[in-house]
């Protein structure tokens, strides 16, 4: 069986996904995702049907966030989703250190790809604050207003210069 690369990434993939999102009564991918604030993108992509993958949603979410100057919110939301994907049983469960490292790695890589490597240190600082809180056993944030995340993101500004970083990447 061959991978349907051209069906997934072929011309018009963004419009195809937006039509599917709009068919679910959301105007944007962000609005669609916000309705299920801790659902991993893999699940959201599956729910949108055939030939939609999580990385496409990631790309569209960051694109919409940059256009709306809401990158900080997008990054927080993406961390909530990554924690739910990688540590489904919550903080302190079996292998949670290893799983948290995987969540951090995926999250930080997405940030770097979306807005630039100049935010690597800031992403590390935010995640380190989460780890050093430390979260109670079984903790997972329900949304971006979780007190642990609010504290971890205090003073973090991923919105700063994200438009110039985008232009520099070309």
Secondary structure of 47-65 in HEC code, one letter for each residue: HCCCCCCHHHHHHHHHHHH
Query: Is there a domain that residue 48 lies in?
Result: yes
Query: Is there a domain that residue 15 lies in?
Result: yes
Query: Is there a domain that residue 25 lies in?
Result: yes
pLDDT of res. 159: 82
Query: Is there a domain that residue 80 lies in?
Result: yes
According to the 3-state scheme, what is the secondary structure of the chain? CCCCHHHHHCCCHHHHHHHHHHCCCCCCHHHHHHCCCCCCHHHHHHHCCCCCCHHHHHHHHHHHHHHHCCHHHHHHHHHHHHHHHHCCCCCCCCCHHHHHHHHHHHHHHHHHHHHCHHHHHHHHHHHHHHHCCCCCCCCCCCCCCCHHHHHHCCCCCCCCCHHHHHHHHC
Query: Is there a domain that residue 163 lies in?
Result: no
Q: How many domains does the chain have?
A: 1
Distance of CA 4 to the CA centre of its chain: 24
pLDDT of res. 166: 41
pLDDT of res. 162: 59
Query: Is there a domain that residue 161 lies in?
Result: no
Give CA–CA dist 60/68, Å, rounded: 12
Low-confidence ranges of the chain (pLDDT < 50): 1, 163-170
Range of the domain at 58: 5-154
Query: Is there a domain that residue 119 lies in?
Result: yes
Query: Is there a domain that residue 116 lies in?
Result: yes
pLDDT of res. 70: 95
């Amino acid at each position: 069986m061959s991978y349907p690369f051209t069906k997934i990434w072929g011309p018009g993939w963004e419009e195809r996904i937006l039509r599917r999102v709009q068919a679910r009564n959301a105007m944007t991918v962000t609005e669609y995702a916000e309705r299920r604030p801790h659902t991993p993108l893999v699940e959201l992509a599956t729910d949108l049907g055939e030939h939609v993958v999580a990385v496409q949603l990631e790309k569209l979410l960051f694109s919409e966030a940059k256009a709306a100057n809401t990158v900080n919110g997008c990054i927080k939301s993406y961390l909530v989703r990554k924690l739910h994907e990688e540590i489904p049983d919550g903080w302190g469960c079996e292998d949670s250190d290893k799983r948290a490292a995987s969540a951090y790695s995926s999250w930080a890589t997405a940030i770097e790809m979306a807005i630039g490597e100049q935010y690597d240190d800031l992403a590390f600082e935010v995640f380190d604050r989460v780890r050093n809180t430390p979260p109670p056993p079984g903790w997972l944030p329900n949304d971006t207003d979780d007190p642990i995340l609010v504290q971890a993101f205090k003073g973090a500004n991923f919105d700063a210069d994200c438009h110039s970083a985008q232009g520099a990447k070309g």
